[in-house]
Each structure stands twice: as C-alpha cells, then as structure tokens.
Structure 1
Amino acid sequence: MKQYYSILILVAFLLGACSNSNQKTVTPASDENPLAWSEDAVMYEVNVRQYTSEGTFNAFAKHLPRLKELGVEILWFMPIHPIGEENRKGTLGSYYSIQDYTAVNPEFGTFEDFKTLVKQAHDMGFKVLIDCVANHTSWDNVWMSQHKDWYTQDSLGNVLPPNPDWSDVADLNYNNQEMRAAMIDAMDYWVAEANIDGYRCDYAGGVPTDFWEEARASLDKIKPVFMLAEDQDHLDLLEKAFDCNYGWTMHHYMNEIYSGEKSVDDIMSYFMQVDSTYPAGTYPLQFTSNHDENSWNGTAYERLGEAVKTFAVLSFTIPGMPLIYNGQEAGLNKRLEFFEKDQIDWNRDPSMTDLYEQLIDLKQENPALWNGEAGTDIVFYATSNPEDLLAFKREKDKNSVLVVMNLSENKLTGNVDVEAGNYHEFFTNEDISLGISEDITLEPWNYLVFVEN
C-alpha cells in the first residue's frame, strides 16, 4: 500500500445535504468476469421477520421498488429455513437454528413465494444471497434422527453444541464425508432450484476450509456465485472459496474511535494489514451495523452517537464493499429483538435515506471507490492533527476521491498538504479551489468529500 506523509493545512467548512437522483445501473457480467456485477455493488441485509408487519416474502417484495431507488444491488437474506423447536430460544427462535436446509420457514411463506421473489428481484436488477449455516443445525433437524454420526459427540455418544452458550444448536462433524456431501447438495439446491446468486456463510471459520473450497467448486458448476464469509481470522478462506469477508477490525475501530479508544493511526495500520495479507481480488465487507451488532451490541446510534453519518461516509469511501442493515436507511434506532417479532420503524429519519442514496451514487459513479481490483488502494496523508484528522485519497485513471474527516468531538483547525487544484465537493455540489497552505476548520465529526474526474 502506498502512503504519502506530508503536511497539510485545513480550512473552515460545513457540509450541507442535497439529494442525487441519478438512475442506478447494474454492471453487466461477462464470460471473462461473471461476477462483474459485484464490482460497484452495495450489499443490503434483509431480516424478513422484522421487515414488515406480515413478516413474509410477499410483504417484503413490495419494498423492492424503494430499494431499487435507494440503489443497493445485492440483497442478503438472513436464514429463510424452518427454525428448530427443541431447545428453542425465545418464542420464535433463532434464524440460525436450522431444522431443514432445503425447506422454507412457513412464517415467511412458501418455496414458490421465495422463487417468485428472487425472479422479481432479478428482473429489477438485484442479485440475491441467502445465509448458509453450515457449522450447526437445530436439535430437531431432519438429519438428527437418521444420521446421529453426522454430529460431534462426546465419549458417551452425546451430541454437543458448538459452545455452551449456543444451547439451541448441535455441532456438525466435518470428519463425516456423507454429511459434507449432504451439505453441498443442500447448497447446490438453492442455486439450481431458486436461482440465488450466492451465499453469506455464517461462522465460516468454524467449518474446514477444504469443505468451502469443495462447495464453491460445486456451486460454480451450476452458475458463478458470490461468496461472503462471516470471518476475518482465516484468510485462507479467501484463496479459493470466498470473494469477501467481514471487516470486523474496521467496524470495531469505528466504535472505538468514537469512544476515544482508537485514533486515525489505527485506521492506517488496518489498511496496511489488509493490503499485505488479503489475496488478490478479495476484500472486506465494511459496515456500521448488522443483525448481530444491532441486536446484541447496540444500534449504530448507541455505538456511534453523533458520528453515525460520519462513519457511514467512511464505510463507503474506504476499500471494501459497504453493507446497509435494513432500517439504517430510515434511521433505525432500536435493538431489534432476535427471538421475537419486533418490526422496523420505517418513519424515523428520512435524512438517512437521502444520505445513503448519495453515498451509493458516490460509490457507483466513481471507479476509484469500486470493490477489489475494480477499484484502487487508499493513500493516506499526514496531517497536523494525526490523532483526529483523517485525510486520504483513492485514485484510478482520471477519477479520484479525496476525503477529509474530523474524527473527534472537538472543532479542529489544522493543515494537510494535498495537491493544489480545483475540487468539487460532492455533498454541497460546490467547486472549491485548494492550495497547499490554506486554513481549514472542521466542526466535530464533520467531513469533506472531493471528487475529480
């Protein structure tokens, strides 16, 4: 990763908000690059149970036009399978306690309802991922009574959970080749029969890498798929099996920067590590929230406070694919119950919809910000306030995006040495001339995004 350290002088500026309404387009795939549609894509996580009052596929489908207008391209559905009843947590249970890998949760509708939803989404230009929960099943999964040897057991033959806290699920034994084959068959089923476009794989590091590689090869024979690993620690997963993994470190750094525990230096160190260790063409998923974070660790507002918009902008401008958890575009500010019905409030904060529409426009209209090798590296600039003032640039061909952020609760005046020239500030739509010796002041958690084409 290239890094340029020089001195820069900052200037007073406050961001306004204006809405861009450009029509979103989908990058076409080709024989040479069948996953080209993922190059500029933003992922959107769907919690069907909590999305509408009905909590069904058919009710969710009514939101597709709104999501098309928002600009997201990949819809990731949390597990859609029947939920186990034995040792169930709460009234409705965990989506991740799978009773049958080739069936649909009757709460959500039927298999035909899901197929219709996938087709409708495809017709509108979306791609569809579903969750694959391969590490464990419910205790009353259809496999349990017929294939107890497919599960991890103690010396007395008792089936074990993956860990004591996951008491509603039973651990699968990946030394059993028949179980592996059945799991791959189940994964193939949804691609072949429902025409999904890939998987987000739960607890991917809890399953052997060679299984994922075998599964990916099988899936790609049906059609090229996109694979996201809920994992950061096992980078070998990215060599043959997965295209993308979780940017947990960056997510935690954003929380810790807001709480004062981390600084700009930690962001720079993180991307040095990503650049030196990730296999070519792979990248992290960047997010300020997801279903786990929202339900267990707090809403984005609890964790990021008045910097919610700042870190949303950061997640869209650093390398990686951005993720929006459903409801964030409406200012979701409550922890959604995990085992109970708890509908999203869609009427809280329309300014977040405007922001995410703008950020998706920014992402898609600037190839420098695209994902993986379709985009480009991040170049950091040293500043006179190295703890709190973040300045970086991403540049590809004649397109460049320069970002300057005050990552503190204090008003900052400092200096940065950027290339002198005329810049266009994305959010205010203003042309601004910057020199190498201008004073700039940023309000707490304020940011500037300059675009050059």
Structure 2
Amino acid sequence: MFIGYHILVKFFYNGDSENDFLPNEYRFCESNSVEGDLKGIIDNFDYIKELGVDLIYLAPIFKSDTTHGYDTVNYFKLATHIFDKNEFKSQKLLHNFINLCHSNDIKVIFDLVLNHVSKFYEMETITQFRPVTENPKTPQENRWQRLFKFWNVEDLETKKFLISVGKYWVEKFNIDGYRLDHAIGLPIEFWSEFYIELKNINKDIILLGEVWDDISDSNDNYKLIKHFKEFDGNTTFTSLFDFYMYDSIIEFFAEDKINNSQFFNRIIKSYSMNNKNFKLTYFMENHDLPRFINICRDYKKFEMVLKFLFTLSGNLMFEYGNEIGIQGDITYKNFHESGRVSMKFKDNHSIKEKYLFDLFKKLVNLRKNNKSLFKGNYILKEDKDVLIFDKVYNEDKFMILVNKNDNYLLEGTYFDELTEEYYEDSFFEKGVYILSYEK
C-alpha cells in the first residue's frame, strides 16, 4: 500500500536554468510550464518529505519534444530539458535522486507510455528488435494520430521490445515500478506477460495502470477496471486507478446526484475488487483532469473529499498541489488540462493553503499509523440523514461520519483524531469526521 505524490516535472520547480528550452524549441509548450526539472524536485525534496508520502510518481522523463512528455522520442534516453545535455550526467543525477528517495523510504515509479510514441521516434536506434506500428484502433487514438504512432503488440518483436523497455529501467536504475499510461489501448494478454516479466525482476514491483474511457460513465469505467485487473485468473497489474470511485466522488460530493446509500454501495463495490495481489488506487485529480476545487468550487467540499480519501482501503495518489488545494487555470481552452499549473511552495502559501498543508500531514500520519484506515473492512451504521460507517481491522476501529448537511446530533462519546477533541452527545456541522470511540 502506498500514499503517492505525482509530479508533472515541467510544472514543479526550475532547479537548473542551464537545461531550459525556449518555447519554440518544443513541438508543444504548455503556457504554465516553469521549465521544471529533476534538480528542482531534489531542491524541494524536504517539502515532499514533510508531507509524509511514501511514493513519488514522475511524469514522463524520457526524451520528448513537449512539456507534458507523453510523446516519447526515445525510451532509453533521458530528456535533456529535465536532466542534462550530457547523458552520463543525466544518469548520475537520476541515480542520486532514486538513492535519495530510497534512503528516506520513498519509492519511485516512472510514467511509461507503451501504447504509443511520438511520430518522430528514433526508430533507427532500435537494433535488437524490429517493432512495428499500426493504425489507430480507438476513439482516443483517432484523436491523437496527428501526434503519435501506435505499437502493434500482436507482433512478437514489438512485444519483446516494449517488455525490454520496462525491464531496462528497473534493472539499471532500481526504480520501484511504473504508472502505465493508457493501458486500455493494449490487450490484456500483453499486460499479463509484462507483469510476469517485471515480477521476475522485482517481486514487489508496482504496476499501476490507467484504464479509463474518458467519454464513458462510472458504470462503464467500473466494468473496464474489473475486466483489466486479471487475465485467466492471473494478475495483470498490482493496481489500477479507480476512475469508478472518482466519478462517484464527484456525483456524491460535488453534484449531489447520488444519495448516502448509493454512495456507500459504490464504496463496497469498489472495495470488493481488492485482493492479496491487487489494490485499487484512489485519487481526486490527475494531469488529465481539472483541479477538484475547480469542479466543486467550495473549499469545504474539497476538505471533505480530502479527508474521505484517507479512509478508503487501498492506495492513494495525490497530484502535486493537492495538499494545498491548488487552483487550476480556468483560461485553458481544454478544461480537462486546466490543472497543469505551476507549483506553489510554503513561502507563497495563503492562510487557507497553510491550513490544508497541515491537515494533509495529519491525515498522512493518521493513516500510516492505523491499519483500519488503509486496509480495514467497512461496516455500515447509518445512511439516511448522514453516512456513518466503521472502518475495522482486528482491534483497530474508527467511525467515519460523512455529513453533507448542517448540525447532525450524534449520541455517545467520541474522540476526533484530527482536532484531538472529545465530543459527547454533540452536534456535528457539515464535514467528514474520523472518530475514535470513547477512550
């Protein structure tokens, strides 16, 4: 299980101006890029460490011609605008970063795009295999074909080549795994074989898949997740992002489209997919989605969702800036990309952002020290006026109160784990509460 932190590198912090590109040197340069790089992440490592997260997920760091990095030009070369123009210095910097993370008990995973690459991929550098591409097969690929070409993994040479990419960075740099972009674009048989090959190198490998149809509803996304989680009884990923729960959180907290009972049933439906070898990963934002605060437009709702996520059994992944409720750029032409904004650090935090930063740290600490929060069972207690359920793991037990209304009377004596206050036969205002029974 992990609490992860996703960094869109070019938007985080510019630690080395010597590797900066000019905007016209990119095929696509996003307006809010600050020319962030790996040194910028290292320079702000103490900030990340203070949050308490135990995994860093880096957006694509391989050679590319864009600020987002999803147009891989060479799988085996590091982007000079993120590292250094000298390949040896780039690799040394990456080794130093991974060692820094590991020495602080933080895992590192890379964003890896195996479905497609840049139309300008350096095919001449591939010598051991003869991979081939194919025409677009899905609605997403039809939209992307101007920028990308798509691998044909029905071809044995192509399959071997892509698996060799995954093995290379794990073996050479001791990374802890991958976030696998647009995994829906490749057949489940490929992912099953990829899983076996990587598992043979590192039995604790993290393979976090993105399986999502961006034009489908929550029910369709649930079916996709259930379909891709295993093949012929064998695991294909160690985790998948739970877009089904993401949709449900929006429908419940932001849009009021589903009631307490319906929402709890979705929690249980999601939780039922977890098993010994597979745990879902929950989130409130990613780089392809708007900032949640721009969806709900209410800091109280944002805070409720933040607290609620920490009560779910499984993995958590937070987008850089989630810890302060960072706003997106609503002037973006595409609202779904509006979350790609420059990072704000402690010297520039507002009073509200400082409060959320401290709350985030408390939530991380609470979750790490209480197994019921990250792996416990759910026991429903109330789903009418409010939603109340227990999280239970052996003797470890919490009551979770989700109140979307005003002043709910809760009888009994409870201890609020975040405010460290006792409540006895008390009224609870709108919010999410993590409560211990009388101590």
| TM-score bracket relative to the smaller structure | 0.7 to 0.9
**Distance apart, 1:251 and its partner CA:** 1.3
Unaligned runs of 5+ residues in structure 1 are 1-37, 85-91, 155-159
- Residue from 424, 427, 430 that aligns with 1:441: 427
> Are 1:237 and 2:228 matched, yes or no?
yes
Does the CA-based 8 Å contact 2:379-2:391 persist in structure 1? yes
Does the CA-based 8 Å contact 1:424-1:430 persist in structure 2? yes
- Residue from 90, 96, 119 that aligns with 2:70: 96
Partner residue of 1:403?
400
Partner residue of 1:254?
249
> Are 1:150 and 2:132 matched, yes or no?
yes
Q: d(CA) in 1 for partners of 2:118 and 2:167? A: 21
- Residue from 295, 299, 311 that aligns with 1:303: 295
- Structure number with greater CO (CA < 8 Å, separation at least 6) is 1
> Are 1:58 and 2:57 matched, yes or no?
no
- Number of aligned residue pairs: give it: 380
**Distance apart, 1:112 and its partner CA:** 2.2
Higher strand share: 2
> Are 1:108 and 2:82 matched, yes or no?
yes
> Are 1:427 and 2:421 matched, yes or no?
no
Question: 2:236 is matched by which residue type in structure 1?
Answer: A
> Are 1:285 and 2:278 matched, yes or no?
no
Does the CA-based 8 Å contact 1:238-1:278 persist in structure 2? no
TM-score by length of 2: 0.80
**Distance apart, 1:369 and its partner CA:** 1.4
SS in 1 for 2:389: strand
SS in 1 for 2:308: helix
Does the CA-based 8 Å contact 1:44-1:324 persist in structure 2? yes
Partner residue of 1:322?
316
Partner residue of 1:222?
201
> Are 1:334 and 2:342 matched, yes or no?
no
Q: d(CA) in 1 for partners of 2:259 and 2:140? A: 39
Does the CA-based 8 Å contact 1:161-1:167 persist in structure 2? no
Does the CA-based 8 Å contact 2:52-2:364 persist in structure 1? yes
Question: 2:312 is matched by which residue type in structure 1?
Answer: I
- Structure 1 residues 220 and 270, CA, compared in 2 at 3 Å: closer, same or farther? same
Partner residue of 2:380?
380
**Distance apart, 1:414 and its partner CA:** 5.5
- Residue from 125, 147, 159 that aligns with 1:180: 159
Q: d(CA) in 2 for partners of 1:427 and 1:64? A: 26
TM-score by length of 1: 0.77
Partner residue of 2:20?
none
- Structure 1 residues 268 and 138, CA, compared in 2 at 3 Å: closer, same or farther? same
- Structure 1 residues 357 and 161, CA, compared in 2 at 3 Å: closer, same or farther? closer
**Distance apart, 1:229 and its partner CA:** 1.0
Does the CA-based 8 Å contact 2:282-2:317 persist in structure 1? yes
**Distance apart, 1:279 and its partner CA:** 4.5
**Distance apart, 1:145 and its partner CA:** 9.2
Q: Provide the identity percentage.
A: 20
SS in 1 for 2:143: coil
Question: 1:449 is matched by which residue type in structure 2?
Answer: I
Question: 2:344 is matched by which residue type in structure 1?
Answer: D
Say what the alpha-carbon RMSD is for the aligned residues: 2.7
SS in 2 for 1:117: helix
- Structure 1 residues 339 and 451, CA, compared in 2 at 3 Å: closer, same or farther? closer
- Structure 1 residues 432 and 93, CA, compared in 2 at 3 Å: closer, same or farther? closer
SS in 2 for 1:288: coil
**Distance apart, 1:131 and its partner CA:** 0.8
